Amino acid sequence: MTYVITDPCIDVLDKSCVEVCPVDCIHYEEGVDRKLFIDPDECIDCGACEPVCPVTAIFAEDDVPPDQAAYTEMDALWFKDPEAARAKVNELKPPA
């Protein structure tokens, strides 16, 4: 299992989760990405990121709300095809 960053992170990018992650599995490209992404292959399921998120955007994979399910695939996709993941973010929540 892994953790997933969902919709409330979009355009917030607080990065508190990045600071507490013991394995540095949370990534994004500064000035390009609108949300942070958790690498499912690197995440050790420690849960350190979840309580520090100020917008409650991080969930254990099994606890992702049904209306946010697309973000599970999106996080994994970013590590294979960042442009495709960015397009999905923009599709689900168009830039303001």
Cβ neighbours for 94, distance < 8 A, ≥ 6 positions apart: none
Just give the CATH number of 3-92.
3.30.70.20
Q: Mean pLDDT score of the chain, rounded to an integer?
A: 96
Please tell me the pTM assigned to this model: 0.95
pLDDT at position 16 is 97
Q: What is the pLDDT of residues 48-94, one digit of tens each?
A: 999 999 999 999 999 999 999 999 999 999 999 999 999 999 999 99
The pLDDT of residue 1 is above 80: no
pLDDT of residue 53: 98
φ and ψ of 62, to 5 deg = -75, -15
Helix (H) / strand (E) element for 59: namely strand 58-60
Rounded to whole angstroms, the Cα distance separating 88 from 17 reads 22
The predicted pLDDT at position 26 comes to 98
CB 23 within 8 A of CB 44: yes
